[in-house]
Amino acid sequence: MKYDPDKHHRRSIRLKGYDYSQAGAYFVTVCIQNREHLLGDVSGGEMHPSEAGEMVIGVWNDLTVRYPAVELDAFAVMPNHVHGIVIVGAGQALPCHAGAASVAPTLGDVVRSFKSLSAIQVNRRLMRTGPLWQRNYYERVIRNEAELKDTRQYILDNPANWDHDENNTRILQEAQSI
pLDDT in tens, 139-157: 999 999 999 999 999 999 9
Q: What is the pLDDT of residue 97?
A: 45
DSSP 131: -
Q: Are 134 and 31 in contact (CB under 8 A)?
A: yes
Cα–Cα distance measured from residue 172 to residue 169, given in angstroms and rounded to the nearest whole number: 5
Q: What is the pLDDT of residue 171?
A: 63
Phi first, then psi: give them for residue 40, nearest 5 degrees. 140, -165
In sequence order, which residues have a C-beta less than 8 Å from that of residue 74 and are 6 or more positions away?
Answer: 83, 84, 85, 151, 152, 155, 156
Q: Indicate the domain borders of the chain.
A: 24-158
Identify the bridge partners of residue 26 per DSSP, sorted by sequence position.
86, 141
Cα–Cα distance measured from residue 138 to residue 170, given in angstroms and rounded to the nearest whole number: 21
CATH number, span 24-158: 3.30.70.1290
Q: Kindly state the average pLDDT of the residues 65-78.
A: 95
pTM of the model: 0.81
Identify the bridge partners of residue 76 per DSSP, sorted by sequence position.
83
In the three-class reduction of DSSP (H, G, I as helix; E, B as strand; rest coil), residue 60 is classed as helix
pLDDT at 13 over 90: no
pLDDT in tens, 121-130: 999 999 999 9
Cα–Cα distance measured from residue 93 to residue 156, given in angstroms and rounded to the nearest whole number: 19
